[in-house]
Structure 1
């Protein structure tokens, strides 16, 4: 969904040109699970501890990854975008007259015995910086995203339930979330909301981290081309660390905005050709990129993007498509199989991350492969989920380190 901001959009919108496939306080929650140190979840590819590590299924669809979890009592299954670029957890709730259409039933807080509204007097009402008192003394919120999506509703607390690797049910009580009653944006009918996984204080990671052995998590996203029945996986807390041979790490850059996971990109190599982030003009600015699982492509500042575009075009021994207006300005090729090259490398501070064509080219339609990059007028770029695929990526919010380990995420 690209990075999200309460009420005010503080950065320019990061909107992909890949239009055919782009389509997410001081008092924290009471954790009801006992003897749980961490957990993992599968991520649904949206097309269709004594207890082990806590996990959540995640499935992919149209460039997004949907996390499967349960909310409320009795439990209601929710499929929501796993988004490291935002903080708020929210789902569409009854009544929802001004909401986008979804296939599954809306969540009805009145039918859950564990749901509670957050009052205007509660300190929690102001943790999102958007708390506005309603005539019923409920804490209303407004939360906007960089692609102009918007959710408005009521802040509440609820029990969220996961399943650990051993099959144990893990209920996490008192989770702060948004009950959306007015939700707009480029959502599709499989998406029931967004799970904010950023670094801010109302994100899922911040709310559950202390009770699961630390504010850390890891993810292994399957590539865009993968059968949608094959899930990705996300793990939380103790046991989610990325270790072993082949791990490379880069510092997480701490800025005033705690939500995004900022890192420093020194440059990009296309084959053996190195392209410096700023064209070699002095040192790069720290924190010039952030990782966003809710944004599919890599988004680069225009000057760097144009150099990458030109170098890829020079190295691919095929004629670019110029007679298909549906593809817009994208760099696309006709081929029956995925491109065999060029290999690319993202050179982060202290960590070189190799990118195969399966991570840098996507098929918007049969027989066509397009470069999964686009550009922005901002001087801060986005490292999207296409490039994150087939890497086990660890986010350690306490040590301020991001780790990469090459992995076949289809075999977990």
Structure 2
């Protein structure tokens, strides 16, 4: 009886700590989590954020393309193993690209920015989140994956020489009264694809790290983000496209490059955008453009300037914590490798000398649960069969300017109800680029303020 009472009091105490906004003294913090709350449902939940952003226009609803909120209905849903396999392809592609441009690593010869733009891209199929936009006059809806690591926005176009299956009708330029080809002699053409031209018309081509590709004409047309209408927006009109694109129409490129959506709409949206990735695939997030009242409420870290190191947003990670205790990791472990924030990478990748202390500390607080073998990517996994509530330590990620993120439980564990793993992985190369992935970004309002050179975070946004 006394033991049962003691256990109950301990559970109440841990639950209290999990809802505290700060640690009490030096006592460790924990989350007491209902595993079913971490699991996606079979039906889409109502959006949490719409009332909050009622006055913010445009606000695009963002959903996981594999979940019940998605309008896409592929013949076969990707398993977690397939998603993580695609994720590894994307990470390999990012590492290869950065090594090639910077001259680091084993890749032969640095490539010019124009070569990278025209010939290389991330693993497209790892992109998980989709939004809906309108293209042409009259406007036709297109479902696009949004990607902070891509230069070029593109959609499949008629007449298709080679196209994959997509949910909506393929965009037909002949049905739009505002469609035009981009001239081969324009600066935009040089920025997107070097000297690739057909007559006076500009061509583009992107080869992704997983073997997927898209190519066609570089064009301009009206882009509609209800209620906003953007005239003469430049994008790729893909007539040769192949890969695991999952029935989307194309991609919305949000990188810090001259031809990205962010740069093209800088006059209208001041090169500012924000998003919230939903906690599970059965709930919704958002993608906003422009400044709004919530942007000023974020904790900010600088965007690190990198010269020609690819289409990425570099930030400086400085530390990690588990159960409110800072781990003994030298800041040079992070600075030597460098870090980007990426919407398309699923699992956060860390230098090995940062991942090992994280893994060890997390395991120390999970000894009451049965460990099970993971896979080549995830190596700290637990069998929760028959368990409804689990107690897990908080995990914190620190960035420059004393920005500290206390991750949502959905940003700590990944997997099924019965088996979940620590959602981090270590790079094999100590100098391999660190990547702050989308699982760890879940539920944060993430603000990209390009003019100020800052990225901001505020919790519990969706």
TM-score normalized with structure 2 length? 0.69
Q: Which runs of 5+ in 1 are unaligned?
A: 1-20, 22-35, 49-56, 164-168
Other structure's SS at 2:237 match: strand
Instruction: Please list every run of 5 or more consecutive structure 2 residues that lacks an aligned counterpart in the other structure.
Output: 1-39, 41-54, 79-126
Matched-pair contact (CA < 8 Å) for 1:58–1:233: no
Matches within 5 A, 1:57-76: 64-76=128-140
- Which residue matches 1:127? 191
Q: What does residue 352 of structure 1 align with?
A: 404
Find the aligned partners of 1:232 and 1:271 in 2 and give their Cα distance: 28
CA contact (8 A) 2:141 2:168 kept: no
Deviation at 1:199, TM superposition (A): 0.9
Show CA shifts across 1:60-112 (max 9, x none): 99671101111111211111111111121111222334333323221121221
Work out the CA distance in 2 between the residues paired with 1:294 and 1:352: 22
**Is the partner of 1:362 in helix, strand or coil?**
strand
Check 1:44–1:259 CA distance in 2 against 1; reply closer, same or farther (3 A cut).
same
Q: Aligned equivalents of 2:252 and 2:258: distance in 1?
A: 13
Counterpart contact for 1:116–1:156, Cα < 8 Å? yes
Aligned to 1:173: 231
- Structure 2 residue aligned with 1:161: 224
CA deviation profile, 1:335-392 (whole Å, cap 9, x unmatched)? 25474312100010120111132112122x4422122222333532111111111111
Cα distance change, pair 89–380 in 1 and its aligned pair in 2 (3 A): same
The 5 A counterparts of 1:31-50 are 39-46=58-65, 47-48=67-68
Matched, 1:203 2:222: no
Aligned-partner Cα distance in 1 for 2:169–2:395: 43
CA 308–203 in structure 1, closer or farther in 2 if over 3 Å, else same = same
Instruction: Work out the CA distance in 1 between the residues paired with 2:285 and 2:164.
Output: 26
- For residues 389 and 273 of structure 2, the distance between their equivalents in structure 1, rounded to whole angstroms, comes to 31
TM-score (norm 1): 0.76
Higher relative helix content: 2
Deviations 1:21-47 (A, max 9, x none): 9xxxxxxxxxxxxxx996322213322
User: 3-state SS of the aligned residue for 1:171?
Assistant: strand
CA distance in 1, matches of 2:195, 2:388: 51
Q: Which residue of 1 aligns with 2:203?
A: 140
Query: Hey, what's the Cα distance between the residues in 1 that align with 2:278 and 2:166?
Result: 24
Return the alpha-carbon distance in structure 2 between the equivalents of residues 342 and 330 of structure 1. 17
Specify the SS of the correspondent of 1:243. helix
Shift of residue 201, structure 1, vs aligned partner: 1.0
* 1:230-286 Cα deviation digits (max 9, x unpaired): 421111113275223xx321111111137311110012112244335xx42758528
- Where do 1:347-386 residues align within 5 Å? 347-350=398-401, 351-363=403-415, 365-376=416-427, 377=429, 378-386=431-439
Equivalent residue number for residue 298 of structure 1: 348
1:331 alignment counterpart = 380
- When you count strand as a share of all residues, which structure comes out higher? 1
Preserved contact between residue 80 and residue 194 of structure 1 (Cα < 8 Å):
yes
Query: Deviations 1:161-196 (Å, cap 9, x if unpaired)?
Result: 011xxxxx321011110112233344222x221101
Paired residue for 1:314, among 349, 364, 373?
364
Query: Greater shift after overlay, 247-256 or 368-377?
Result: 368-377
Show the 5 A alignment for 1:177-326. Answer: 177-189=235-247, 191-212=248-269, 214-223=270-279, 225-227=280-282, 230-239=283-292, 242-244=295-297, 247-257=298-308, 259-275=311-327, 279-280=329-330, 282=332, 284-285=334-335, 288-317=338-367, 318-322=369-373
The 3-state SS of whatever aligns with 1:113 is coil
In the alignment of these two chains, the number of paired residues is 349
- Give CA-to-partner distance per residue, 1:208-244, whole Å, 9 cap, x none: 12123x1111112211x242xx421111113275223
| Residues 356 and 157 of structure 1: CA distance in aligned 2, closer, same or farther (over 3 Å) | same
* Separation in structure 2 between the aligned mates of residue 59 and residue 198 of structure 1, nearest angstrom: 25
Kindly provide the CA deviation profile for residues 283-335 of structure 1, in whole angstroms up to 9, marking residues without a partner as x.
8528821111112211222332233233323322322222x77x865432222
- Partner SS state of residue 159, structure 1: strand
Q: Which residue of 2 aligns with 1:397?
A: 450
Look up the match of 1:25: none
**CA distance 1:124–1:384, change in 2 (3 Å):** same
The alignment yields a C-alpha RMSD, in angstroms, of: 2.9
* Alpha-carbon distance between aligned partners in 1 of 2:392 and 2:399, rounded to the nearest angstrom: 21
Distance of 1:349 and 1:91 partners within structure 2? 37
C-alpha distance in structure 1 between counterparts of 2:362 and 2:210, whole Å: 27
CA contact (8 A) 2:220 2:233 kept: yes
Contact 2:255 2:312 survives alignment (8 Å): yes
Distance 1:333-1:131 versus aligned 2 partners, 3 A rule: farther
**In 1: Cα distance, 2:336 partner to 2:443 partner:** 26
